[in-house]
Amino acid sequence: MYRPFHIKSEIRVLAIDDSALIADQIMIVGAFFRGGGWLDGVMRSYVTRDGMDSTDTIAEMILSSKHCGQIRIIMLDGVTYAGFNPVDIHHIWELTGIPVVAVMRSYPNFRKIEDALFHLPEPQKRMGIILRAGSITKVRTGAGPNHVYIQCAGIEAQHAARIVQLTATRSNIPEPLRVAHLIATGIVLGESRGKA
């Protein structure tokens, strides 16, 4: 059992997404939000494309942030970054003490994932990390049939679902994740144009 989780309308959320796969080192961006309405800070780091360093890099980025003491939930865009660099959400929770919610737009096809990992080093280890994320819960967001899927560490699925619903203020994707994606994409596209 996890400790009781009190959800306020302006719960502090750190959402992390990655940028386009255009280099060996892929930028990840963290957007620090109050609920689904206010951006209070941005952080960034880099992980290796198809590497094995996402878990440690994300944990280090969080622990070294000036916002670390305020973060109540870590929100990830799935459990792989920079291609197939797997994130161990339970280890991030253990390292930081902050619950983690991985949000997915669609239900993962584990057969396709396993086939893709076959072409990379340590495929079984990678698949083990992905599967360790645990059970998948469908969460309805917004009006109509919109929904996402989540996996959790350090928090009950029902509480994680409530946070996802609370922060999905402009689309079926939680606003902190949507903004992290926009920032990561914008920075990388701007840098690539500047080099052209």
Measured between alpha carbons, how far is residue 88 from residues 9, 126, 134, 168, 185 in Å?
A: 28, 10, 10, 24, 24
CA dihedral 31, 110, 137, 100 (to 10 degrees): -30
Q: Given this model, what pLDDT does residue 4 score?
A: 61
Please state, in angstroms and rounded to a whole number, the distance separating the CA atoms of residues 80 and 154. 19
Q: What is the pLDDT along the chain (196 residues), one digit of tens a residue?
A: 566 667 888 899 999 999 988 889 999 999 999 887 889 999 999 999 999 999 999 999 999 999 999 999 999 999 999 999 999 999 999 999 999 999 999 999 999 999 999 999 999 999 999 999 999 999 998 766 789 999 999 999 999 999 999 999 888 899 999 999 999 987 755 555 445 4
3-state secondary structure of 91: helix
Q: Given this model, what pLDDT does residue 196 score?
A: 45
Q: Given this model, what pLDDT does residue 15 score?
A: 97
69: CB partners within 8 A, 6+ apart: none
| Residue (of 102, 90, 85) closest to 46 by Cα position | 85
What domains can you pick out in the chain, each with its CATH number? 12-195 (3.30.2170.10)
Read off φ and ψ for residue 51, nearest 5 degrees. Answer: -95, -155
Tell me the whole-structure pTM to 2 decimals.
0.91
Q: Given this model, what pLDDT does residue 146 score?
A: 85
158: DSSP letter: H
